[in-house]
Structure 1
Amino acid sequence: MKARDLSVLLAVILVIIMLVIPLPGWLLSVLILVNITLSLMVILVAMNTQEPLQFSVFPTIILLLTLFRLALNVSTTRSILAEADAGGVVDTFGSFVIGDNPLVGFVVFIILVIINFLVITKGSERVSEVAARFSLDAMPGKQMSVDADLNAGLISESQARERREKVEREADFHGSMDGASKFVKGDAIAGIIIVLINIVFGLIIGIVQMGMPFGEAVDTFIRLTVGDGLVSQIPALLMSTATGIVVTRSAGNGNLGSEVTGQLLQYPKLLYIAAGTIFLLGLTPINFFLTTTLAAVLGVSGYLLQKQSEKPSEIQTEEEEDQTESTAMKSSENVVSLLSMDPIEFEFGYGLIPLADTNQGGDLLDRIIMIRRQLAIELGIVIPVVRIRDNIQLNPNEYRLKIKGNEVATGELLLDHYLAMAPDFSNDEMDGIDTKEPAFGLPAKWISEENKDEAELSGYTVVDPPSVVSTHITEVIKQHAHTLLGRQETKQLIDHLKESYPILVDEVTPEPLAIGDIQKVFAKLLKENISIRNLPIIFETLADFSKMTNDTELLGEYVRQALSSQITKQYTGEDMQMKVITVSGKVEKLIADHIQQTEHGNYLALDPESQQEIIKTIHTEAEKLALQEESTIVLCSPAIRMYLKQLLDRFLPQVIVLSYNELEPDVQVQSVGVVNVA
């Protein structure tokens, strides 16, 4: 244990001993001086902190020093009542204040106690209560502000984490200060009671037990009581003042001294007004020489401060601005910063600003936070921060979404309308503005708020504009999730898995698979909307099959088969039934016979006529399923699944291709069509 830590423990033990064991006068004098010194150090530190959290241990110090001071009061009271002596420090303080008139000295002491209790202590307690209440009330808003800055790309994840921790620490600090201020108040009350005890019982003990004359008893015990009260009230006054300074301090760029002088004297011309006012007071019976001297000092100070404030501004306007501009133009960082590109950007016209403006009730920032959390659960990856900005080049009600600088989606919103989608558009009689639902391309209408209730009663699905754009953003990010997952993001996922499965990760990477190879497997799964959240199973499969092949396409197929339970639940309902389009044996053999194997991987080399026939057949069957509101799922053998999917991606990317090995045995498969060729 360090010496400093041990000294604090010994000090606490000493305080407890002081409450029980009588101490000699010389030791009491030493401890009294230590108490005054510690209180002085505390107020000096409080004045030199820039923000309250820099003195976060202050509530605990208040408790310890209050306990120390009360223990001293108990010890000195014991010495005063038992021996009519409490050491040289107490006697000196009492004699200095009382002088030749005990009554005047006692009145001065009472005034000091009243000032400490009624003014400083009560004020500090009230400020602590208000600060604690306001800090707790403002905590949700501050956390939302941090999330908003994070979503806007103004701060990084680590900076957001630090700011959230700071908000929590501020709330804890002000809550602790609210409780600590009660100790300060209790200490002041205890000091008053101890003074009364020393006087009343001191006079009784002095006259009755010690046989002192009344005058001598009054002089002795009032002197000792006032001295004891002063050596305890002065540190108490310092602690109360320090408490008031800390709880009234807002975050600044300097200590209390620099900020007080800097802000109080920031308007030098006001000193001229103060000087003139003091000079006019000298024309009254007040001392003319004194007021004129003070006015002259104020006037000269104002003149010097004005000259000092004007000099830096001139240098800045003539030299520093030119130098700053030229340096910024020549700096290579000024060009390098232009090369950075946001992974996801959401831009909107000025008419959609209320969506993102919290002052106008906009909650887009909160919705995007929820989207990122939702996709992290669904896909198993951390979606990058979405940079949100307005763009005057867009139409007022238009928005667009960019991924890695490329525009991937656009849309248009009417903020004063609702989007209504009918279950059957063959019989659509609702008045509104025809449009398409941006996320899925379904026919829809923008209807006014007056028609909202009528549309809901008629069976329409009615959605507000923020929900429309949130759904669109979610679906677009899902479609492009594989492009958002790079090597750096893959490394973060691997590091996260390694915390729980270090041996498993070491068996897969860096040998036999590099991070780039694992990233390709992940991207392949995400491209077909397969979640990679179950990393342990994925890495178990890679560990088993990467010893046989390094082909990331084949490894992806093996991983899909290992995730059969997940894939089955993804594409079947609670009844475990699935409507599929099967592939005939002829088409299976045709595809298998035209797989070309090269050193760079395998690919399908099928003639254009056969390709068109297969695609046309699947497209026809997909249209039939679309009328039944069913997803198009093609079921084939594991040997050709990968190549059939590659073929359909060019023309029918929305078609789902599964193999028999990717389904659980208890799935009830119903074939509603067959892919065949002539």
Structure 2
Amino acid sequence: MDLSGVKKTDIGVAAYLLAAIIFFIVPIPSILLDVMLALNISVALIVLMNVLFVREVLDMSFFPTLLLFTTIFRISLNVSSTRLILSTGSPGNVVETFGQFVGGGDLVIGAIIFIVLIIVQFMVINKGSERVAEVSARFTLDAMPGKQMAIDADLNTGAITEKEARERRQKLQDESSFFGSMDGATKYVKGDATAGLLITFINLIGGTLMGVMRSGMDFTSAIQQYGLLTIGDGLCSQIPSLLISLATGILVTKGSKEADFSGVLIKQLFGIPKVLYIVGASMIFLGLVTPLNPVLFGAFGAAFLISGYSISKSIGEESIEEEVAAEESEAEEIRRPENVVSLLQVDPIELEFGYGIIPLADVNQGGDLLDRVVMIRRQIALELGTVVPIIRLRDNIQLNPNQYIIKIKGIQVAEGEILFDHYMAMNPGFVEEEINGIPTFEPSFHLPAIWITDSQRERAESLGYTVVDPPSIIATHLTEVIRSHIAELLSRQDVQNLVNNLKESNPALVDELTPKLLGLGEIQKVLQNLLKEGISIRDLLSIFEVLADHAATTRDTDVLTEYVRQGLKRAISSRYFVPNEVTSCITLDPKVEQDIMASIKQTEQGAYLTLDPERIRAIMDSLQAEIAKFEETGKTPIVVTSPIVRMYFKKMTEDYVKDLIVVSYNEIDSDVELQSVGMVTG
């Protein structure tokens, strides 16, 4: 059998657990029992010392399993020692020594010591540990949602990185699992104490009967001999059990602080000089005015007074050293040349606001702007299939109190102003009775609106106004800005992450496409082209399938984008058209399409139009006239062209008409009915 892959630690743990099972079945000699009892005491001490000095509870994450292992092993030794006591009357040196030496060689003294140990363990340590473990588990689980939200908030403000957020979430999950396991594991400790007490009584009764009936001893001699052996056996098992119980209590009461337990404990107990002065003076007073030993109490009092003076002096020196060290570190940080490197970092998205808007972003003041930022990232991820970079929120005292600005890659692209404790009311077009307020414009779509007070809100809603609170205004504005700039925010690293994610489920497709047919930059360009026109890239599998089909014939990213759009026609149709309903649209004059095709010039850098500027101007005038007709009826203008013309016409209109929807006939599902109500001529 090949054991080359088996670790020594695996063999050790398996042997420890297997030995416990064997001891239940097979009788063992007294010398081996001595070795196992010594090992049991050693393991209990190791566990106690580890728990005492471990810096964090998760460093002992396997403690619940360890409890079960040690409990089973200890009970198996109880069974073996019971077998030896009843069969031979000689359970070995360890049991006899505990009965004679620890029990004082007297049955009554040994029994009392044993009962005291049982009471301390069962009534104090076990009961307290069980209660603390239960409460810790409940509070840890109850606090999980709040802690997870705090991690999300830190992540969105840029206080931590994605990696740090994952580590914190994993640690949070591990803590909840640990305290939940500890809640159940403490039941083993409680059961172990009960089993030890019952086994001791069984040993005492059985041993006495064996001595009287088998060995011909009188009752007094039998109970004296077997009673001491029974007490020794009980102490051998209960002392390690007490150590494990104590370790359990320390671990569940220690909390999850990353700190040196002994150092913090001593510092908290003896760290205040004033306390030591009072205690020292009290001890001296008790030694002088009462019959208590004046030398003993005076010595303790003097020791406390000297310790208080020493600690007071060291605290003053530490504060001076810390102040000097802090000043030196600040100066050193300023002098370091690498300090400039951090200034070169450009945040993809920033939301800066004046001090009057801070309450909206401060969780302690009831602000929920951070939660809304989290929802924006989730909303766009679901809608467009791409991950929005971290949105950094910061206050800026240079802005007006109620002003905010939005930056993309360090450059301001939008701004707005709100009135705190006011609401923005917008007329959707059918409100007959107007309400008084402060005139303004909605920042996202620049629609006319008014600021109203909280007392006017209910009346405005009853009249038909759309009423929005300040956080919603900022969140909506931020969402629209991100949506309009999402194409340029898609980096090569983002594309690589998307590719890696797809490769987990479709490795053959990814290996075929990249890097053999298309490079990462070319895939990025295609995805940016789609996002620029608001087409979701969430169905990355379909996009890559189309690219793999056509990348062998062309590497022109604009042409590949058109092929991908045609492959996504179901998604495009569902976005712009209603199935089984007639949709009004604008078409191009065939003569215009022919002129556009005739003016296309192919170069190594791509294709571009060489159409006469006057001709372009005439086409745009006609287009804007048709768009005006649609806007008068409240409809969204949609231009439908032939497939080969679509991308060139879209590029032509970008400088004249913002966000114009241009689709080709090949991007429209068969169940969509179109009605041309206008034609672009020139």
**Shorter-chain TM-score category?**
over 0.9
Among 140, 144, 159, which residue is 1:139 paired with? 144
| Residues 1:299 and 2:305 are matched in the alignment | yes
Report if aligned partners of 2:100, 2:106 keep a CA contact under 8 Å in 1: no
Secondary structure (helix, strand or coil) at the match of 1:480 reads helix
Counterparts of 1:674 and 1:426 in 2: how far apart (Å)? Answer: 34
- Work out which of the residue numbers 358, 367, 370 in structure 1 matches 2:375: 370
Quickly say closer, same or farther: Cα 1:363–1:575, change in 2 above 3 A: farther
Cα distance between partner residues in 2 of 1:458 and 1:33: 85
Q: Does the aligned pair in 2 maintain the 1:425–1:443 contact within 8 Å?
A: no
Shift of 1:428: 4.8
Matches within 5 A, 1:49-64: 49-64=54-69
User: How far apart, CA to CA, are the structure 1 residues paired with 2:630 and 2:323?
Assistant: 73
Structure 2 counterpart SS, 1:282:
helix
- Cα distance in 2 between the residues matched to 1:421 and 1:323: 57
Structure 2 counterpart SS, 1:647: helix
- Secondary structure, counterpart of 1:19 in structure 2: helix
2:295 to 273, 289, 295: 289
Read off the aligned partner of 2:331 and give its amino acid letter.
Answer: S
The within-5 A match list for 1:568-607 is 568-607=573-612
Question: Aligned partners of 2:333, 2:204: CA distance in 1, in Å?
Answer: 74
> C-alpha separation between the residues in 1 aligned to 2:134 and 2:398?
50
Q: For residues 568-595 of structure 1, what are the alpha-carbon distances to aligned partners after superposition, in whole Å with 9 as ceiling and x for unaligned?
A: 1111124354221111122222322332
Contact 2:431/2:464 (8 A) holds in 1: no
- Counterpart selection for 1:104 from 105, 109, 120: 109
- 1:44-64 Cα shifts (integer Å, max 9, x gaps): 111121111000011111111
Change (3 A) 1:303 1:454: closer
Residues 1:534 and 2:534 aligned together: no
Question: Could you tell me how far 1:112 is from its partner in structure 2?
Answer: 1.9
Residue type of the alignment partner of 1:223: L
What secondary structure, in the 3-state scheme, does the structure 1 residue paired with 2:346 have? coil
Task: Write the letter of the residue equivalent to 1:112.
Answer: L
CA–CA distance in 2 between the matches of 1:240 and 1:547? Answer: 70
Deviation by residue 1:175-209 (Cα, 9 ceiling, x = unmatched): 11111111111111122222222223433333344
Label 1:458 to 1:575 Cα distance change in 2 as closer, same or farther (>3 A).
farther
Amino acid at match of 1:523: Q
Distance in 2 (CA, whole Å) between partners of 1:603 and 1:537 is 28
2:536 is paired with a residue of what secondary structure? coil
Tell me which moved more, 562-571 or 147-156: 562-571
Which whole-Å deviations, capped at 9, do the CAs of 1:115-136 have from their partners, x for residues lacking one?
1111111111111111111111
Paired residue for 1:438, among 438, 443, 460? Answer: 443
Judging changes above 3 Å, is the alpha-carbon distance between structure 1 residues 544 and 103 closer, same or farther for their aligned structure 2 residues?
Answer: closer
Equivalent position of 1:19 in the other structure: 24
Matches of 2:509 and 2:303, distance apart in 1: 79
Amino acid at match of 2:404: Y
Q: How far, CA to CA, are the matches of 2:442 and 2:246 in structure 1?
A: 64
* Residue number in structure 2 paired with 1:217: 222
- State the distance in 2 between where 1:159 and 1:321 align: 26
Given that 2:579 and 2:671 are in contact with CA atoms closer than 8 Å, whether structure 1 keeps it comes out as no
Residue range with higher mean Cα deviation, 307-316 or 614-623:
307-316
Kept after mapping to 2: 8 A contact 1:435/1:445: yes
1:676 Cα deviation (Å)?
1.0
- CA distance in 2 between partners of 1:455 and 1:322 (Å): 58
Structure 1, 261-270 or 330-339: larger mean CA deviation: 261-270
Deviation for aligned residue 1:254: 4.0
Residue 75 of structure 2, aligned match among 63, 70, 73: 70
Match of 2:39 in 1: 34
Is 1:468 matched up with 2:473?
Answer: yes
The CA distance in 1 between the partners of 2:265 and 2:463, in whole Å, is: 68
Q: Deviations over 1:638-670 (max 9, x none)?
A: 232222211211121121111222222332111
Query: Any conservation in 1 of the 2:105–2:228 contact (CA below 8 Å)?
Result: no
Which residue of structure 2 lines up, in the alignment, with residue 273 of structure 1?
Answer: 278
Matched, 1:635 2:636: no
Partner of 2:185: 180
Q: Which runs of 5+ in 1 are unaligned?
A: none
SS of 1:402's equivalent in the other structure is: strand
Of residues 191, 194, 211, the one that matches 2:196 is 191
SS of the residue corresponding to residue 84 of structure 1 reads coil
Give 1:232 deviation, angstroms: 0.9
Distance 1:515 1:305, change over 3 A: same
Which deviations, in whole Å up to 9, do the C-alpha atoms of 1:302-357 show, x marking residues without a partner? 34434444444434444x34532332122122101011011111122222223222
The residue aligned with 1:625 is 630
Residue aligning to 1:659: 664
| Residue identity matched to 1:167 | L
Moved more, 235-244 or 354-363: 354-363
Q: How does 1:412-561 map to 2 (within 5 A)?
A: 412-424=417-429, 427-561=432-566
CA offsets, 1:606-626, max 9 Å, x none? 333222222222222212212
Quick check: 1:149 aligned with 2:148? no
| AA matched with 2:183 | D
Does the aligned pair in 2 maintain the 1:422–1:428 contact within 8 Å?
Answer: no
Name which of structure 1's ranges 648-657 and 79-88 shifts more when overlaid on structure 2.
79-88
Judge conservation of contact 1:399–1:412 (CA < 8 Å) in 2. yes
Tell me, what secondary structure is at the counterpart of 2:216? coil
- Residues 370-398 of structure 1, C-alpha deviations (whole Å, 9 max, x = no match): 22122112212111111112222223332
The answer for the alignment partner of 2:343 in structure 1 is 338
Deviation for aligned residue 1:265: 3.0
> What SS does structure 1 have at the residue aligned with 2:254?
coil
Q: Which moved more, 1:41-50 or 1:647-656?
A: 647-656
Letter in 1 for 2:483: K
Secondary structure in structure 1 of the residue aligned to 2:397: coil
Where in structure 2 are the equivalents of 1:312-391 lying within 5 Å? 312-318=318-324, 320-391=325-396
Contact persistence 2:208–2:226 (CA under 8 A): yes
CA RMSD of aligned residues (A): 2.1
1:45 partner letter: N
Structure 2 CA distance for partners of 1:423 and 1:305, relative to 1, 3 Å:
closer
How far has the Cα of 1:228 moved from its partner? 1.0
1:456–1:462: 8 Å Cα contact kept in structure 2? yes
CA distance in 2, matches of 1:321, 1:58: 40
Q: Distance in 2 between matches of 1:664 and 1:113?
A: 80
Q: Tell me the secondary structure at the aligned position of residue 25 of structure 2.
A: coil
Superposed structure 1 runs of 4+ greater than 6 Å apart: none
Identity of aligned residues (%): 50
Shift of 1:253: 4.5
Q: Aligned AA for 1:587? A: V
Q: Give the structure 1 partner of residue 3 of structure 2.
A: none
Which whole-Å CA distance do the structure 1 matches of 2:273 and 2:516 have between them? Answer: 72
Extract unaligned runs of 5+ from structure 2.
1-5
SS at match of 2:505: coil
- 1:399 aligned partner: 404
Q: Which moved more, 1:213-222 or 1:118-127?
A: 213-222
Query: Cα deviation per residue 1:251-294 (whole Å; 9 max; x = unaligned)?
Result: 44443222222333333453233222221121021111112222
Q: Distance in 1 between matches of 2:16 and 2:334?
A: 60
- Give the partner amino acid of 2:305: G
Which segment is superposed worse, 323-332 or 564-573? Answer: 323-332
